Amino acid sequence: MSKLWNKGFAVNQLIEDFTVGKDREMDLFLAPYDVLGSMAHITMLESINLLEKEDLKVLLPALHEIYQSAKANNFTIEEGVEDVHSQVEMLLTQRVGEAGKKIHSGRSRNDQVLVDLKLFMRAEIQEIVELTHQLFSLLIEKSEQYKDTLLPGYTHLQVAMPSSFGLWFGAYAESLIDDLHVLHSGYKICNQNPLGSAAGYGSSFPLNRQMTTDLLGFDSMNYNVVYAQMGRGKSEKIVGFGLSSVAATLGKLAYDVCLYMSQNFNFVSLPKELTTGSSIMPHKKNPDVFELLRSHCNKIQGLPAQILLMINNLPSGYFRDLQLVKELIVPAFDDLKNCLNITLFAIEHMTVNPEILNDQKYDLLFSVDEVNRRVLEGETFRDAYLNVGKEIMEGKFDPPKNVAHTHEGSIGNLCNDKIVEKFDQLLNDFNFQKTEKAIQELISQSI
């Protein structure tokens, strides 16, 4: 097996298989980012005279070809090659000769995988945010569309007070904002450059770490090289909390839909093409899509705890335990993106029942409104409460089924414009344009 650390002896095959594990499989996701890191690193090496200009002229176009291959999913890690770092260096050496052997000066696989993961997570977070933005916009649209369509509100799963589909859809829209605040924290941690920390103790080469920070579009760097290594696993855990927060909102929404689609509620429905049936009950229209969505989201919510248990008892410095964190964090992004996509599709095709409150059992929803109406007419709250309660117990309660809620965030004043404003401000705080511009310039210089 080709290894950057090969010293001329073979490792026992059983040990080889166990220690490599799924690393090559996970590294395929990191390949484009490994190449970007190498582009920045060798550009910096040339600037401090550790690489000849002529070497840089042949290395950058070769790296660009590998990058394009990786982006097109045509990059493979060959049998016998240990990881993505070994594969890229081997390909370069095959294509440009001796210059390919120079690219590892001043770095270690430790800081290579650190920068790969941070660039990967940074890009994946952007995709999650963009999908979340789409779902947010759809929920606001549905909230406005159904702002006057009432449905029962529940506490303790007991009929409580009037709500509306406008409130229901809008609640999940605003929830996503807080979820993205958590994810934004993960993004800021990912957006710090660890390159140049090498194996965790820096390098005796006069590296220009600010240069690679700028080339890769990072906001800042992990200045302390020991901390850069300590950040491995910690970054993934914090990002995991962001992913789990989005998943929690989707999972709660899925639970609501499963409940509301049952015949006992009949609040919402899906087209038959979006449901599944029973092998023996011909009437069944099961909301499997939302049941599976709920389960996927529960799995994602366990991600931070899994990572925590892997890294919690590690001292400073690098340990191979961290390799397994990749197997948790890398697939989690696709899992959440699939959840967001299916939620978008299902909510788009969902219909609501506008006649829910015609059912007599929902008359009691209006008891609080009736108490408040009497208070406004001069009755004390306690007397109004007792009198309405007595009418309910005697079966004499016959409320007007109209609502007059006007305060901020209530049925009659959803404040969706303010919620959109909050989302837009948070979206601007991510400042994806800065990183996109830097990466595009780095790629362009390699052509």
pLDDT tens profile 162-214: 999 999 999 999 999 999 999 999 999 999 999 999 999 999 999 999 999 99
Of residues 119 and 25, which shows the higher confidence score?
A: 119
Extract the tokens encoding 160: 């409580």
CA–CA distances in Å: residue 351 to residues 263, 265, 267, 440: 15, 14, 9, 43
Residue 298, domain CATH: 1.20.200.10
pLDDT, average across residues 67-74: 95
Contact 246, 320 (CB under 8 A): no
Q: To which H or E segment does residue 193 belong?
A: strand 192-193
Considering the chain, what percentage of its residues have pLDDT values greater than 90?
81
Of residues 26 and 195, which shows the higher confidence score?
A: 195
Residue 1, in any domain of the structure: no
- pLDDT band for 97, please (50, 70, 90 cuts): very high
- pLDDT band for 1, please (50, 70, 90 cuts): very low
Check whether residue 80 and residue 125 sit in a common domain: no
Q: What is the pLDDT of residue 10?
A: 65
Which of 54, 84, 102 corresponds to the end of one domain? 102
Q: What is the pTM of this model?
A: 0.92
Residue 394, in any domain of the structure: no
Check whether residue 159 and residue 116 sit in a common domain: yes
d(CA 175, CA 325): 28
Does residue 275 surpass a pLDDT of 90?
no
Check whether residue 337 and residue 441 sit in a common domain: yes
Which of 74, 102, 130 corresponds to the end of one domain? 102
Check whether residue 234 and residue 351 sit in a common domain: yes
Tokens 């990191």 found at:
30
Contact 222, 239 (CB under 8 A): no
Q: pLDDT tens for residues 423-433?
A: 999 999 999 99
- pLDDT band for 25, please (50, 70, 90 cuts): confident
CA–CA distances in Å: residue 275 to residues 14, 93, 269, 272, 305: 47, 54, 10, 5, 33
Check whether residue 439 and residue 294 sit in a common domain: yes
d(CA 414, CA 416): 5
d(CA 130, CA 134): 6
Contact 154, 160 (CB under 8 A): yes
Check whether residue 75 and residue 147 sit in a common domain: no
Count the residues in the chain: 447
Q: What is the pLDDT of residue 257?
A: 95
Residues acting as catalytic residues: 156, 278
Residue 54, domain CATH: 1.10.275.10
Residue 29, in any domain of the structure: yes
How many domains, in total, are found in the chain? 2
Does residue 33 surpass a pLDDT of 70?
yes
Under DSSP, is residue 76 helix (H, G, I), strand (E, B) or coil? Answer: coil
Check whether residue 164 and residue 73 sit in a common domain: no
Provide φ and ψ at 195, rounded to 5°.
Answer: -65, 135
Q: Which domain holds residue 242?
A: 109-358+415-445
Q: Which residues contact 374 (CB under 8 A, 6 or more apart)?
A: 384, 387, 388
Residue 55, in any domain of the structure: yes
Residue 53, in any domain of the structure: yes
Check whether residue 237 and residue 264 sit in a common domain: yes
Q: Which residues pair with 269 in a beta bridge?
A: 351
Which of 67, 82, 102 corresponds to the end of one domain? 102
Q: Give which of 347, 361, 297 is closest to 165, Cα–Cα.
A: 347
Q: To which H or E segment does residue 97 belong?
A: none
Q: pLDDT tens for residues 220-265?
A: 999 999 999 999 999 999 999 999 999 999 999 999 999 999 989 9
pLDDT, average across residues 351-373: 93
Residue 3, in any domain of the structure: no
Check whether residue 166 and residue 288 sit in a common domain: yes
Q: To which H or E segment does residue 49 belong?
A: none
d(CA 445, CA 61): 9
Does residue 322 surpass a pLDDT of 80?
yes
Residue 297, in any domain of the structure: yes
Check whether residue 27 and residue 91 sit in a common domain: yes
Q: Which residues pair with 220 in a beta bridge?
A: 192
Q: pLDDT tens for residues 386-397?
A: 999 999 999 999
Does residue 11 surpass a pLDDT of 80?
no
Q: What is the pLDDT of residue 67?
A: 96
Q: What is the pLDDT of residue 5?
A: 44
d(CA 110, CA 197): 8
Contact 416, 170 (CB under 8 A): yes
d(CA 49, CA 253): 57
Contact 64, 446 (CB under 8 A): yes
Residue 400, in any domain of the structure: no
Check whether residue 146 and residue 295 sit in a common domain: yes
Contact 214, 177 (CB under 8 A): no
Extract the tokens encoding 361: 């059992």
Does residue 2 surpass a pLDDT of 70?
no
Check whether residue 46 and residue 150 sit in a common domain: no
Provide φ and ψ at 408, rounded to 5°.
Answer: -55, 130
Q: Which amino acid is at 233?
A: G
pLDDT, average across residues 276-287: 74
d(CA 23, CA 164): 49
CA R_g for the chain = 28
Q: Which residues contact 268 (CB under 8 A, 6 or more apart)?
A: 257, 260, 261, 350, 351, 352, 353
